[in-house]
Amino acid sequence: MDDPYKTLGVAKDASQAEIKKAYRKLVKTLHPDLHPGDAAKAAQFQAVSAANDIIGDAKQRKRFDAGEIDASGQERPPRQYYRDHANADPRGRYDSGAGFGDFEDLSGAFSDLFGARAQSRSKGFAARGADRRYHLKVGFLDAVRGATRAVPLPDGSAIDLKIPAGVRDGQTLRLRGKGQAGVGGGPAGDAYVELSVDTHPVFTRDGNDIEVELPISFDEAILGAKVEVPTLTGKVSMGIPKGATSGQRLRLKGKGVAPASGAAGDQFVRLKIVTPSKPDAEMEAIAQRWRDHATEDPRANSWREL
């Protein structure tokens, strides 16, 4: 990085107040959120912030002047600015379309285009009502199976919100016309309900697929067995193949999340061999006999890349 004094445009013997003033002035002209889309200003602002981190702070400045620290150690990770989030927001929640009110005067196809879009916002004195945002926590199984929840409105009433089966964490439901009332005959805004879905102690969800960890005993692993597995719809019996091992994934087709529309996912059962909590003498004898003639090294793969 360059000399922080040069970056801020101040003399080496500038007072702390002078540095602050210079920094403030640069922030006002360079702040990335005041220049959305201008990459050059953003880079310059980054340098100014880093320079201010050093010489804007009396203690850090003393250390820098004494040569104890250099400018390069102060570079901060690039920050996400408001503009980055605003650009990425699919709904443009804070964005204003008021700047298009007069585009309807244009003739031809363009006015149809913008007219149609602008109409949903404002036309003359009739303005569309503002959207409302709600946030709702949904239990894991409610999200899987679907549920009905009452969403309270500011006027004291409530709407019954139907949560369709298979909703995902972060999904937003839209209730058309349930936002604030329009002005001058304009349509009402919409209500957006953002869902966050709880986790479950047993089931892990990945899209419409479900994964569970299933502990099995050592004899079940060696000899194979028929065991009961928890699924979203209750207990299901499943065969463990002979010679199963920890980490092995077995699939129960169609036993995942069945969404309101689309195909159901699968459930994956990840096996985990659990040894007896208190091995008795016989168990030890079995193990000893096994050790006496075992030849396979379970860690053979661990040394491969060393």
- Rank residues 90 and 298 by Cβ distance to other proteins and give the closer one: 90
For residue 254, the minimal CB distance to other proteins (Å) is 32
User: Rule CB under 8 A: which residues touch other proteins?
Assistant: 24, 27-28, 31, 33-34, 36-37, 80-87, 89, 92-100, 113-114, 117, 132-137, 154, 192, 194, 196
- Alpha-carbon span 124 to 101, nearest angstrom: 8
- Rank residues 36 and 230 by Cβ distance to other proteins and give the closer one: 36
212: exposed, middle or buried (Cβ count in 10 Å: 0-12, 13-18, 19+): middle
| Joined tokens for residue 66 | 């004494």
- Alpha-carbon span 263 to 165, nearest angstrom: 12
For residue 106, the minimal CB distance to other proteins (Å) is 12
- Alpha-carbon span 227 to 255, nearest angstrom: 16
What phi and psi, each to the nearest 5 degrees, are found at residue 177?
75, 10
For residue 92, the minimal CB distance to other proteins (Å) is 5
Contacts of 246 (CB under 8 A, 6+ apart): 271, 272, 273
- Rank residues 113 and 126 by Cβ distance to other proteins and give the closer one: 113
- Alpha-carbon span 221 to 132, nearest angstrom: 55
For residue 87, the minimal CB distance to other proteins (Å) is 8
- Rank residues 86 and 225 by Cβ distance to other proteins and give the closer one: 86
Report the candidate in 183, 199, 181 with the shortest Cα–Cα distance to residue 191. 181
- Rank residues 196 and 246 by Cβ distance to other proteins and give the closer one: 196
Contacts of 118 (CB under 8 A, 6+ apart): 97, 100, 101, 103, 104
For residue 64, the minimal CB distance to other proteins (Å) is 21
- Rank residues 138 and 271 by Cβ distance to other proteins and give the closer one: 138
For residue 141, the minimal CB distance to other proteins (Å) is 18
